[in-house]
Amino acid sequence: DAKTTQPTSMDCAEGRAANLPCNHSTISGNEYVYWYRQIHSQGPQYIIHGLKNNETNEMASLIITEDRKSSTLILPHATLRDTAVYYCIVRVGGSQGNLIFGKGTKLSVKP
């Protein structure tokens, strides 16, 4: 699976959009980009995933660059409850595929 690079930490003002970047320059054609978050000591929570098209769901939007070497997770209106560690994971499909977590980005949403 491709390696990902994320900033260690980011701050965001409550009510503003939070844009979390992820670099995955060695991604291959059959690898998906997944985003998870972990709030305090809870189990990780799945947010969104995509292959090459931009994706949106009720939680967030995922923007993947045309060359697929980087992506951005967007939380449109961040709240204090969005304070968490956000993990960007690149994963190959197939029976050998599984989640490999890095250290993620610690997002702090401030009032």
Q: Tell me which residues touch other proteins (CB under 8 A).
A: 32, 34, 36, 41-49, 87, 93-104
**Closer of 83 and 87 to other proteins (Cβ):** 87
107-to-1, 40, 75, 85, 97 alpha-carbon distances in Å: 25, 11, 11, 6, 27
Whether the CB-CB separation of 102 and 90 falls below 8 Å is answered with: no
Q: Which two tokens stand for residue 54?
A: 């931009």
Least distance to other proteins from the beta carbon of 74, Å?
17
Least distance to other proteins from the beta carbon of 2, Å?
16
**Closer of 47 and 73 to other proteins (Cβ):** 47
**Closer of 15 and 36 to other proteins (Cβ):** 36
Q: Which two tokens stand for residue 39?
A: 């709030």
Least distance to other proteins from the beta carbon of 51, Å?
8
